[in-house]
């Protein structure tokens, strides 16, 4: 490394680089991949290396293409470079890969006369992506495109385009799209054809179009290959396949490509991140140099040693030994509670003992976990800040649907509520339009009197729905949500759409978490108006918290925490089915490790946000379901306490009666409970449906009349597992 630069860094910033950091800063030419662990100073190293490329390497800044993953990262890089090298700052600009692609397209327009129209901006006055997809969707399905369906379809298209999967590759598409696959393929194909015919571009087309331009325009490709002799990519593990292919194309033939990233922190597969380019770098470039930054300057020795061992359980990674010069601090704490209430009681006690709340973060795998946290923090008057700015909970399709049910029962002429309910009733676009166009009758009245349905089944279903919906407004909100799910048949719709699993599977899903969270909010309210006001209050509270100026506890998802660090970090709801997800666990059981290893990387990212204190919390009973501690928590326990083998064994799941599942299965159920008291006319209490009366018996199967519905249940099973008990008079 140039002595001049070494002296400059020390004299101005008292900064001394480690040997591996020096290696990275001095690696100026050829294909280079820098694998940087959490807290290794990669951002500082990246900007110093860029300065050295100009100072020592003699490379003109106009010949350097410095790219990163997001606008926020680009701003961070530009600010860091300016703070370290103010005299060079005007010559250097970090940009996103999308902005570089946009520049290529504009260049092509100038020399070819071609004109593209960008359709992916808010408030588009002419053609818009939303309008285009809505018209295609209506044509292919005879249904209107709802907001959540639009979000789903655009997300799926974005993922496929980043993975370079085209509409004709149906086998590949089916790996990533589960619901209504054939309809999606038709929409995707028509959407791409329409854009191509009209020279329309959406956000992801910036990448694919720029790539195709350089593939087919030899002169333009040569221009960019000669202009940019050196390319530098930050957060390389987050780049997608199309982004990487575009960069490789520009880097050819010199291959002066400098990638900085961490294969252990690749956590964005759901939006097309393609970490394989890091792992295969040596295969792609035979003369490549791999440099490891494996000193973590952020976290204590306890956290570094534990997390390093934890992530080494993954196989698809670079082997590395992560160390730290930092001394030990407190040993990471693991707590397993019986209930969520116990978890929150403990958490509040811990938080109230901390002075600097800005240096505290509560991290969670699912966005929905924030709702319960917000409620309990507000109750304890502890300030908090949602780092992501907004919660997707309030825009989740299930939340919007449940609110629509309540609005429609309060106002049968609520057009927006009716449009949401219409899709649940599987009404065609023409029927919806016909119903909304008239003003003489409430919408459901008009449907049952004036619309001729193709099948008697649909006609009868809608008539029954109309008869039942008015009963909803008289129910307490929590009972009302049960009524929506069961009597109004919303649960079958959610099952068909994949939001929840069939009752027989009883698998924890994001949809189930949303439903149970709504029930929890509803249980604290007396009527529909209070429930809707409470939802509105929580939304305002979450929105306002992002602008919190006073010291406050940071609330973030595992994903959003990446790149941040705090003195104290709490990970909550660390149970199997949440982290890792049920899907990842199932794949793991089949020895398909890709999704499971990404979940492990995500847990690793969350743990390594902590500088000094890390606490990992889990609960046995949440959302009316029984959970095991996460397999990741058990791994951490085994790392921290290797001699305590029995402690790390999975604890048995327990039913509401306190017996483990395995105990129930092994019991002789014919003699385990006495059902003599359960006779016709007897009052009982059901954990889910509330109070009811037995009105018929068929052996051990009882028909029970609850307040607004009847249910047939097995007395032996429900009494044994604690779901049904005699109602005390």
| Residue 540: CA count within 13 A, CB half-sphere | 6
pLDDT at 484 over 60: yes
Q: Which of 59, 62, 43 is nearest to 51 (CA)?
A: 59
Buried/exposed 136-175: b ≥16 CB within 10 Å, e otherwise: bbeebbebbbbebbeebbbebbbbbbbbbbebeeeeebee
**What are the tens digits of pLDDT across the range 551-570?**
999 999 999 999 999 999 99
Phi first, then psi: give them for residue 201, nearest 5 degrees. -130, 135
**What are the tens digits of pLDDT across the range 265-293?**
999 998 899 888 899 999 999 999 999 99
Q: Topology of domain 333-389+546-640, per CATH?
A: Rossmann fold (3.40.50)
pLDDT at 709 over 90: no
pLDDT at 550 over 50: yes
Tell me, rounded to whole angstroms, the distance of Cα 616 from its chain centroid: 20
Instruction: Please tell me the class of the 394-525 domain.
Output: mainly alpha
Q: How far is CA 157 from CA 37, 184, 241, 246, 536, in A?
A: 32, 9, 14, 19, 32
Superfamily per CATH, domain 17-103+227-295: P-loop containing nucleotide triphosphate hydrolases (3.40.50.300)
**What are the tens digits of pLDDT across the range 660-690?**
444 444 444 444 577 888 888 888 888 777 8
* pTM of the predicted protein model: 0.85
The β-bridge relationship of strands 64-68 and 230-233 is parallel
Q: Which of 666, 665, 635 is nearest to 649 (CA)?
A: 635
Task: Enter the tokens of residue 570.
Answer: 């709490």
pLDDT at 229: 96
Query: How far apart are alpha carbons 163 and 214 in whole angstroms?
Result: 18
Task: Enter the tokens of residue 544.
Answer: 């306002």
pLDDT at 389: 65
Confidence of residue 729 (pLDDT cuts 50, 70, 90): low
| Domain 661-726: assigned CATH number | 2.30.30
pLDDT at 148: 85
pLDDT at 557: 96
Task: Enter the tokens of residue 587.
Answer: 């794949």
Mean per-residue pLDDT, 348-375: 95
Neighbours of 650 (CB within 10 A): 10
Query: How far apart are alpha carbons 468 and 484 in whole angstroms?
Result: 10
Query: How far apart are alpha carbons 569 and 615 in whole angstroms?
Result: 6
pLDDT at 672: 55
Q: Of the ranges 183-192, 312-321, 370-379, 636-645, which one carries the lowest mean pLDDT score?
A: 636-645
Percent of the residues in the chain that have a pLDDT greater than 70, as a whole number:
94
Phi first, then psi: give them for residue 195, nearest 5 degrees. -65, -45
Query: How far apart are alpha carbons 137 and 149 in whole angstroms?
Result: 10
Query: How far apart are alpha carbons 169 and 438 in whole angstroms?
Result: 44
Q: Which of 540, 510, 714, 699 is nearest to 623 (CA)?
A: 510
pLDDT at 656: 38
């Amino acid at each position: 490394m140039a002595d001049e630069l070494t002296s400059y860094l020390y004299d101005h910033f008292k900064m001394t680089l480690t040997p591996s950091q020096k290696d990275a800063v001095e690696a100026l030419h050829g294909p280079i991949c820098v694998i940087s662990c959490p807290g290794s100073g990669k951002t500082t190293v990246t900007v110093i290396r860029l300065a050295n490329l100009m100072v020592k390497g003699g490379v003109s800044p106009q010949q350097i293409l410095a790219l990163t993953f997001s606008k926020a990262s680009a701003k961070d890089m530009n600010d860091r470079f300016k703070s370290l090298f103010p005299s060079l700052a005007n010559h250097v600009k970090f940009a996103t890969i999308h902005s570089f692609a946009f520049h290529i397209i504009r260049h092509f327009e100038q020399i070819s006369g071609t004109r593209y129209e960008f359709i992916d901006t808010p408030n588009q006055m002419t053609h818009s992506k939303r309008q285009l997809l809505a018209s295609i969707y209506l044509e292919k399905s005879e249904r209107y495109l709802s907001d959540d369906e639009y979000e789903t379809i655009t997300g799926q298209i974005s993922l496929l385009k980043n993975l370079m999967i085209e509409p004709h590759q149906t086998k590949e598409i089916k790996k990533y799209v589960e619901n209504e696959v054939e309809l999606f393929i038709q929409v995707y194909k028509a959407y791409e054809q329409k854009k191509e015919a009209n020279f329309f571009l959406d956000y992801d087309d910036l990448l694919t179009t720029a790539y195709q331009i350089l593939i087919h325009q030899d002169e333009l490709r040569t221009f960019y290959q000669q202009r940019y002799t050196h390319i530098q990519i930050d957060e390389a593990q987050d780049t997608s396949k199309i982004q990487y292919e575009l960069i490789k194309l520009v880097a050819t033939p010199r291959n002066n490509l400098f990638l900085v990233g961490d294969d252990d922190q690749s956590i964005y597969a759901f939006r097309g991140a393609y970490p394989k380019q890091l792992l295969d770098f040596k295969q792609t470039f035979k003369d490549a140099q791999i440099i490891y930054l494996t000193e973590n300057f952020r976290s204590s020795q306890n956290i570094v040693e534990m997390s390093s061992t934890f992530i080494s359980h993954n196989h698809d990674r670079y082997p590395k030994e992560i160390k730290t010069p930092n001394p030990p601090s407190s040993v990471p704490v693991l707590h397993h509670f019986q209930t969520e209430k116990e978890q929150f009681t403990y958490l509040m006690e811990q938080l109230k003992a901390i002075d600097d709340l800005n240096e505290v973060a509560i991290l969670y795998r699912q966005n929905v976990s924030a709702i319960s946290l917000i409620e309990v923090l507000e109750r304890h008057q502890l300030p908090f800040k949602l780092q992501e700015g907004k919660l997707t909970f309030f825009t989740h399709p299930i939340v919007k649907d449940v609110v629509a049910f309540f609005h429609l029962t309060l106002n049968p002429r609520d057009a927006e509520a009716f449009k949401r309910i219409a899709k649940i009733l599987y009404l065609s676009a023409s029927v919806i339009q016909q119903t909304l166009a008239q003003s003489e009758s409430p919408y459901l009245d008009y449907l049952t009197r004036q619309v001729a349905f193709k099948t008697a089944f649909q006609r009868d279903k809608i008539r029954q729905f109309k008869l039942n919906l008015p009963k909803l407004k008289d129910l307490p909100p929590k009972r009302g949500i049960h009524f929506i799910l069961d009597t109004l048949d919303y649960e079958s719709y959610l099952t068909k759409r994949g939001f929840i699993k069939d009752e027989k599977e009883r698998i924890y899903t994001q949809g189930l978490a949303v439903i149970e969270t709504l029930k929890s909010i509803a249980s604290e309210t007396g009527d529909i108006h209070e429930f809707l006001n409470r939802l509105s209050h929580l939304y305002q509270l979450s929105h306002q918290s992002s602008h919190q100026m006073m010291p406050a506890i940071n609330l973030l998802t595992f994903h959003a925490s990446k790149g941040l660090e705090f003195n104290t970090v709490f990970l909550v709801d660390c149970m199997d089915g949440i982290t890792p997800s049920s899907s990842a666990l199932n794949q793991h059981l089949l020895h398909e490790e890709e999704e499971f290893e990404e979940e492990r990387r995500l847990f690793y990212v969350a743990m390594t946000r902590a500088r000094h204190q890390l606490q990992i919390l889990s609960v046995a009973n949440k959302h009316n379901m029984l959970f095991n501690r996460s397999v990741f928590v058990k791994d951490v326990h085994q790392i921290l306490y290797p001699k305590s083998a029995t402690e790390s064994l999975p604890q048995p799941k327990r039913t509401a009666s306190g017996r483990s599942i395995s105990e129930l299965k092994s019991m002789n159920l014919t003699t385990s409970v006495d059902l003599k008291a359960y006779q016709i006319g007897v009052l009982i209490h059901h954990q889910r449906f509330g109070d009811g009366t037995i009105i018929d018996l068929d052996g051990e199967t009882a028909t029970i009349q609850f307040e607004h519905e009847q249910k047939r249940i097995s007395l032996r099973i429900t009494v044994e597992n604690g779901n049904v008990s005699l109602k005390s008079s």
